[in-house]
Structure 1
Amino acid sequence: MAARAKAQSVLETTRILEQTASDTSLPAAVRGAAATELAIAYENVWPSYATKSAQEDQSGPWKLATGRIVISDADHPLLNRTRAVELYELGAELGNETAQFRMGTLYASGALGVEQDQVKMALHYYFAAVGGSIHAQMALGFRHSIGLGVPRDCKTAVLYYELAANTAADQIERDGVGPLNERERLSLDQKSHSYTGRRAVRSEDEEIVDYYKHAAEKGDLAALVALGQIYFYGARGVERDHETAAMFFRRAAASGDPLAQATLGHMLVKGMAVERDLKAAYENFSAAAEAHSAAGKNGLGYMYLYGLHVKQDRSRATKLFDEAAEMGNAEALYNAGALFATGTGSSRRNYPMALNYFQVAVQKGHTLAMHKLAQMNLHGIGTPRQCENAMHLFKAVAERGEPVQLLSRAFVLWNSYDDIDSALHIYLVASELGYEVAQSNAAWLLDYGADIRGSVQRPGASSPVKQSPSAQQSPSATSGKVDDFFSAGSHGGVLPFPLSVIQDIIDIVDQFLRLKEPSNRSLDALRLYELAAEQENVDARLKIGDYYYYGLGVMDGPDFELAAFHYKLASKRRNAQAMFNLGFMHQHGIGLDRDFHLAKRYYDLAESADADAKIPVSLALSGLWMHRIYRAIVFGESSTNLPAVVSTLARWYAFLQGSPAPHHGASSASPDTAEVSASTSSSSSQQAAQNGETPAAPLSSQAFDALATLAEFEDDTVVAIVLSILLVIVLMLRSRDQQRRALHRRLRQAAAASVQHPHQD
């Protein structure tokens, strides 16, 4: 009943916001804020009161369905994205920067049924950025940095990124800690191919937290510190709670843990969820410093620098900062750099020294040091002006500000609430801000069944998932895929024994490294993969190659040359799958020149880049060897490093085709361009007999028909046939060898018996 009452109060709030937004007598700012708040509620793009309430009470008109709330009362829907778009448009017209930014993202991505419009997108972003939206500032900074829908200009990009970075830096300095920077990548392969398997990460986090709590109850010092950090930063699926964190740190500090003492001292100085107590902070910092804690020395230096509870002593503060910096403390490195940059504690400023300290702190991930270093690169302080460096540093700072919470929110929706639709739309928003992980995650969801315009299929449930090539629709014959020959349809159902064995081998290869068709032909996913690839995501680059290989999206068909281009870019980043794909394309002449030597080189590189590639590369090299044999026999190509019998088989085949025996050099002409009459071949045989040479024995008509039939198949088909024949031959030879050994064993036994019992005359 309590849940129902709460839901009814929410509906009442919704009515009030509707009335406020439509009341033209109210100021535009008030109406715009009301319309935007209501639009956010209707869009329902993060865990809301409705979900939690319905989980508590699913009776009456409320019911829980597929991870979100469905209201049977049609008059009061909590999820109405069509209405949300209308309200965003109203809020944008009334000058609300949040609504302007959201409409900009919709015009950019075409989500929620809004038609893509790059001009409207840019206008909405611009007005939102002028209104102070850090999200819009980041979006414009990213777009100007790569020239996406706007001119590419580093100076303009760094201008927007600096505004967003300043806001983020101010927030971190004010709060004493930045937002949790979690960047999870979505992948069914990392969890379970089942839809419910995505809760695995959540369950693991809960188990870890429960373990620490159980250990902490028994007085385990490490568990107390771990729980304090979990609640301090809001990690392991736990909401940030500084009050609870302080409680755990107090218990650990009382037991003498230096890390807990230093962290508690920091909270006491800043007054974070506790009453500010400089005396207690000094005592904790001192105790930690005596235990040789770098964080303790840095905190103590901070108090001496500003004279907090102690007499101000900048020289001593500088000494403490230096000692902590030598121990690798990022905060101390930043503080030491700041002293050199401002001239505090010394006679004059030393920008080169400040630059060095900031650079080391940046390597350790210190956000404020990134901000200072970006300013020095932008304005040429202690270093030449470098716009690109400044832009990337400001971007990194801005991405650690409040907007980074979008990533955590989207992952929680996908992983814990099974709300793929809402997760997709949040990732699309974060993609516009330039978050590479959001771009790849949004593309991943679209690639596996999500619909950017609203409807969605669940990966692992009803959505298409990766299948073996035989289960997919075959691409065009020009793709040269070996798998086409092994599809069940081409054999009327069941595969013969040798071919079924080979198909099983191919399936095993596909489990490791596969050149497969992505399941959803989405141009939106391709666009997002391209954005992620621009930011050095090698897996996204590989996906782009797959899209061009199979001709997905709105492209007219496969573009093997472009696919090879992207695979080469990915291979330069040591991507084993890209190397394997290039080997495959070189082997079969797909988009690249047929070159067995280069194919082998790429296969070998794939194995060296990834240990998991050993099995598929071994099989691929076997297939490559057989392919070379086939080409040498049928097309007279080089038989160097191949068994001598290959040359004999090549002469036989040339004889059957009525062609002269090929000369196995570096390259040979196709038999189609070297036709010779049967009489010429016959006279050549007679001449060989006159010279004392033994002419090749004529083949039977059945063998002739079999070899003639081979010419009608595609290259890859013949490779498979030859491979299966060799498999049968190997089995026959093995059986024959076993029979010979058994016969010899029986003969030896008989001989031994005759020695023991000689025959009587």
Structure 2
Amino acid sequence: MNWLRFALAGWLFSHIASTSEQLLSVEESIAIFKEEEPALRESLWFLTDYKPAPDDQVHLALDVDYYDEADNIKKKYWNSKLSERQLHALDSLHRLADEHNDTDATYLLAQINLFGNYSLPTNATQTLHYHQKMVQLAPNSTSNYLLGFIYATGLFGKLDMDQGRALLHYQIAADQGEIRAAMALAYRYYKGISVEQNLMLALYYYGMVAHECFEFIKNGPIGGPNIDHFNFRIYDLQGGLYGSGASETTPIVPSTFKEVVEYEDFTDVDFQSSSYKDKARSVRHYYDGNYWRPRDYNTAFEIAQECATRGIQLRPVQDVLDDRIDRKLSVSRTLIQSVGQCCSDLGHMYLRGEGTEIDLEAARVWLERGVKLANSAEASVDLGLLYELMDDEDHRAQAFELYNSASYASARALYHRAKILIRSDFEAGLGQLITAAYRNVPEAKYQAAQMKELQYEPGKEEGILVFYKAFVEHMEPVVCDLQWAFHQLLNRNHEQALIGYAMAAEQGFEPAQSSTAFLLYSPVGYLEEPPRVPFERFQSSLNYYRRAHQQQNLDAGVFLGDIYYNGLKNSQIGKSSEKGEYAVEPDYNTAFSYYLSAAAKGSLQARFNLGYMYEMGIGLSQDFHLAKRYYDQMFEINQKPSLAAQLSLLRLWLKIWWYGEKTAEDSDVQQPTSRTWDDWVQMYTRLRNERRETSAQEQLANAPNRAGPDSNFIFESTFENGNADIFFLIAFASIFLLVMLNRWRLLRQRRPGEPDDEPEDEPNVRFRVILL
């Protein structure tokens, strides 16, 4: 028996040893994830890397429906595609985190299960568990911030929301220096979200974030860092929440989605003006990049250098540089302007060290040429900054003159002029600084807030908050990662995109709030089937639409009013087992409040809806006077309102002529009832009899005699019951169809062939495509 004991002990020892040898470190696990990621992405149809060719049109596909069952099936399929090495690496991380309390493994697992790092599947329960474990093991500001986000959103139905815990973790993270948490706290105190409104605390946290953002600017290149903005509403890419022509909120259409002519090396001298113009545009194309291609400073520098060095050798350009002719009088103005733009861009890149090493002397030479040839405001600002670096009175005076000459065309020139002026004339400089802030110069917003804070008066906190909030929202790369969210959207990884947009939404970005709401529940046209989503996601979408409306989003307010006006049945959002019951009960008072709020902000559609509710007495006492007031207000903003508005006003005029100007104080005002043809004839006859009673009676008395004794003519004041309303039905049905067709034409359309029945059998099959 002893030999058996020794054998068993040896086996156990060897098993433990082999097991410990198989335990991978965090670094080894990460290396495996990186190596296996390409093969994993190829095996999953729903994970794509969008890399369009230069002339490709971008197709942004958005899922309309969402089903928990389909998501669970997708996750199971996802896990089944993991390789043995990936499973081993994940198992090692779990053992390191659970058995050895390894902080690196714990944090990595928490991030993987939230963001899907290395294309691995996510898990809401595990990300909550490991972030909680992380903050217990060691102080970690990021985990505290993400715990605040998880509790604030519940990850849209996957976990329970707890606003108290969210506030607590945001507070801890902010105290640990996490500016994303500080910004979320600032927005909550500013708007009173789950806390009592406290403008002083909001000012404190916004100031904390703003100081960090300004340090980021100061540590950047001369003139400040280039910031790529992804803070736009997703639905603005298709014309707005209700589609092009029907939406009222001013769309934030990204300029880089516009067509850009690619660089071509023209050699035909007959086309040299066109060639240099294309080169100048190509420099900006590569320098600015776009939403799916990063900036390419090296290529931009090469093109600018070639364009500028070759361009200044041309005779028309030399004539301007040598002052032999004024550039405005030259017959080659387009050529001179294009070469001047290339010179400006080349000097700009020498000044900032983009695509080349910093060379201030070369920057000065090329910027001076750019100012002379193109009178470029940007070149004037760059040259002014360069002169300020020389730190002598003469160059500072030259810088001021350059800023002064370019201040009308360039807000940045106005800002730099204000900075110089404020040293000698504080009030005038402060006024110009505030003007530059309103012209969207981020540094001016920060410094204007600083100046106002120095002159603080009780009750004036909101004026300071507005500048701080606008400034920190401009600094996207510092406070959020909307670029990552948009790229996830391009790759059709909608759940990860939703997390990215929601994180920015919690920080108070209105476009991110609108985008988050749209991803959770997107409005549809009157003739379309509503999206099928879990009720928790629908509630979250309403919450973000409310926040967006509080920040001047007109369409969000109208949408909320429509939801409460019409109500929404459970069967319309996927709860087929509860048909007939409302997820949102029709509530005319709430709908009225949203329409009234949107109308006060300038919404034409909300004013039309208010006029209609007063006209028809829907949820309100019928009041033609107020109905006419709201209809008339539509013409104050738009001299050519929609056909529906014009027809409604005409209909109201007819009612006023027929009924008189009824108001809410009239005791006989009732909900309008349908009338038969006989009612209209009798009413018309009674009104005529009141005016011409004697004449009417004589005509009626003589009517049988005129017909003759043998006539079979009998006057009937009524039609048959089946034809009682035929004329008015035809008239109003025609008007109604015209209005509906006009409205439908303006609303966005979804692809044909969408399933209408039993959507659970084919989940996530409906999607809308936006062409960029």
TM-score by length of 2: 0.64
Q: Which residue of 1 aligns with 2:436?
A: 361
TM superposition shift of 1:160? 0.7
Alignment of 1:289-438 (within 5 A): 289-291=371-373, 292-307=375-390, 313-341=394-422, 343=423, 349-380=424-455, 386-401=460-475, 402-403=477-478, 406-414=481-489, 416-438=490-512
Contact kept, 8 Å, 2:564 with 2:584, in 1: the verdict is no
Distance in 2 separating the partners of 1:595 and 1:316: 66
Q: Which residue of 2 aligns with 1:488?
A: none
- Give CA deviations for 1:265-306 in whole Å, capped at 9, x if unaligned: 333233334212222122222222333333333333323322
Tell whether 2:620 aligns with 1:592.
Answer: yes
Query: Any idea what SS the aligned residue of 2:481 has?
Result: helix
TM superposition shift of 1:102? 1.4
Of 127, 138, 147, which residue of structure 1 is paired with 2:192?
147
TM superposition shift of 1:140? 0.8
Query: Any idea what SS the aligned residue of 1:549 has?
Result: helix
Distance 1:695 1:333, change over 3 A: farther
Contact kept, 8 Å, 2:380 with 2:406, in 1: the verdict is no
- Give CA deviations for 1:26-77 in whole Å, capped at 9, x if unaligned: 6xxxx1x5533443333336xx754xxxxxxxxxxxxxxxxxxxxxxxxxx5
- Give CA deviations for 1:84-107 in whole Å, capped at 9, x if unaligned: 332233334332211211111121
Contact kept, 8 Å, 2:404 with 2:414, in 1: the verdict is no
Structure 2 letter corresponding to 1:543: F
Of 288, 294, 319, which residue of structure 2 is paired with 1:239?
294
Q: Which residue of 1 aligns with 2:521?
A: 447
Structure 2 letter corresponding to 1:354: G
Tell whether 2:527 aligns with 1:468.
Answer: yes
Q: Which residue of 1 aligns with 2:592?
A: 564
Q: Which residue of 2 aligns with 1:486?
A: none
Structure 1 letter corresponding to 2:302: M
TM superposition shift of 1:135? 0.9
Alignment of 1:83-94 (within 5 A): 83-93=126-136, 94=138
Alignment of 1:24-43 (within 5 A): 24=100, 31=103, 34-43=105-114
TM superposition shift of 1:323? 3.3
Of 348, 356, 370, which residue of structure 2 is paired with 1:274?
356
Distance 1:627 1:704, change over 3 A: farther
Tell whether 2:650 aligns with 1:579.
Answer: no
Distance in 2 separating the partners of 1:330 and 1:17: 52
Distance 1:612 1:180, change over 3 A: farther
Farther-moved stretch of structure 1 (5-14 vs 421-430): 5-14
TM superposition shift of 1:238? 1.7
Aligned residue pair count:
575
Alignment of 1:134-173 (within 5 A): 134-173=179-218
Query: Any idea what SS the aligned residue of 1:224 has?
Result: helix
Structure 2 letter corresponding to 1:274: T
Structure 2 letter corresponding to 1:391: L
Distance 1:95 1:699, change over 3 A: farther
Farther-moved stretch of structure 1 (419-428 vs 544-553): 544-553
TM superposition shift of 1:565? 2.4
Structure 2 letter corresponding to 1:574: G
TM superposition shift of 1:389? 1.7
Q: Which residue of 2 aligns with 1:534?
A: 550
Alignment of 1:537-548 (within 5 A): 537-548=553-564
Tell whether 2:145 aligns with 1:101.
Answer: yes
TM superposition shift of 1:326? 3.9
Contact kept, 8 Å, 2:256 with 2:289, in 1: the verdict is no
Distance 1:192 1:351, change over 3 A: closer
Distance 1:650 1:246, change over 3 A: same
Distance in 2 separating the partners of 1:725 and 1:142: 50
TM superposition shift of 1:631? 7.2
Structure 2 letter corresponding to 1:466: G
Q: Which residue of 1 aligns with 2:165?
A: 120
Distance in 1 separating the partners of 2:142 and 2:689: 72
Distance in 1 separating the partners of 2:265 and 2:125: 50
Q: Which residue of 2 aligns with 1:212?
A: 262
TM superposition shift of 1:25? 6.7
Distance in 2 separating the partners of 1:600 and 1:370: 42
- Give CA deviations for 1:732-759 in whole Å, capped at 9, x if unaligned: xxxxxxxxxxxxxxxxxxxxxxxxxxxx
Farther-moved stretch of structure 1 (609-618 vs 623-632): 623-632
Distance in 2 separating the partners of 1:240 and 1:565: 46
TM superposition shift of 1:159? 0.9
- Give CA deviations for 1:396-431 in whole Å, capped at 9, x if unaligned: 1111222566333333333x2222222222211111
- Give CA deviations for 1:207-243 in whole Å, capped at 9, x if unaligned: 935x323478998333333333344343253213333
TM superposition shift of 1:78? 3.6
Structure 2: tracts of 5 or more residues without a match: 1-31, 40-82, 242-251, 313-338, 570-581, 661-665, 668-674, 706-712, 737-772
Distance in 1 separating the partners of 2:217 and 2:180: 17
Contact kept, 8 Å, 2:115 with 2:496, in 1: the verdict is yes
Farther-moved stretch of structure 1 (107-116 vs 240-249): 240-249
Distance 1:652 1:301, change over 3 A: closer
Contact kept, 8 Å, 1:125 with 1:136, in 2: the verdict is yes
TM superposition shift of 1:165? 1.3
Structure 1 letter corresponding to 2:140: N
Distance 1:191 1:617, change over 3 A: closer
- Give CA deviations for 1:179-215 in whole Å, capped at 9, x if unaligned: 212333223992799xxxxxxx999978935x32347
Query: Any idea what SS the aligned residue of 1:213 has?
Result: coil
Distance in 1 separating the partners of 2:459 and 2:381: 31
Alignment of 1:224-263 (within 5 A): 224-254=279-309, 255=311, 257-263=339-345
Distance in 1 separating the partners of 2:397 and 2:254: 48
- Give CA deviations for 1:662-714 in whole Å, capped at 9, x if unaligned: 7999xxxxxxxxxxxxxxxxxx99x968996879998759737569x88xxxx
Q: Which residue of 2 aligns with 1:68?
A: none
Structure 1: tracts of 5 or more residues without a match: 51-76, 194-200, 344-348, 449-463, 474-517, 639-645, 666-683, 711-716, 728-761
TM-score by length of 1: 0.64
Percent identity of paired positions between Structure 1 and Structure 2 = 26
- Give CA deviations for 1:640-670 in whole Å, capped at 9, x if unaligned: xxxxxx9996585479xxxx957999xxxxx
Distance in 1 separating the partners of 2:193 and 2:538: 19
